[in-house]
Amino acid sequence: MNHRPFNPVLLKEIKLRFRNAKSFSSLAFYLIAITLFILAYFIIMTGVIQTSYMNPTNSFILFCSLTVLQMGLLLFMAPALTAGAISTEREKQTLNILLTTTQTSTQIIIGKLVASLAYLVVLLIATLPMYSILFLFGGVSPTMLGSVFLQFLLTVFAVGSVGILFSTVTKKTILSMISTYGVVIFLTFFTAMFFFVGLVNNFGDLPTYASYFWLSINPIAVVLSVISPDIAIGVEEMTKIEFPPVVVYTIFYSLLGIGSLLIAVKKLRIEK
Tens-digit pLDDT profile for residues 72-125? 989 998 898 888 888 888 888 888 787 787 788 888 898 889 888 888 888 888
Residues 82 and 116 sit within 8 Å (Cβ to Cβ): yes
CA-to-CA dists, residue 10 to 15, 116, 125, 242, angstroms? 9, 9, 20, 43
Kindly list the domain boundaries of the chain, sorted by start residue. Answer: 8-267
Per-residue pLDDT of the chain (272 residues; tens, 9 = 90+): 444 556 777 777 777 777 777 777 888 888 888 888 888 887 877 766 566 566 778 788 888 888 998 999 899 988 988 888 888 888 888 887 877 877 888 888 988 898 888 888 888 888 888 887 777 777 788 888 888 999 999 999 999 999 999 999 988 889 999 999 999 999 999 999 988 888 777 655 656 888 889 999 999 999 998 888 888 888 888 888 888 899 999 999 999 999 999 999 998 877 55
Nearest one of 182, 254, 185, 255 to 220, comparing CA atoms: 185
Phi-psi region of 138 (alpha: psi -120 to 50; beta: other; left: phi over 0): left
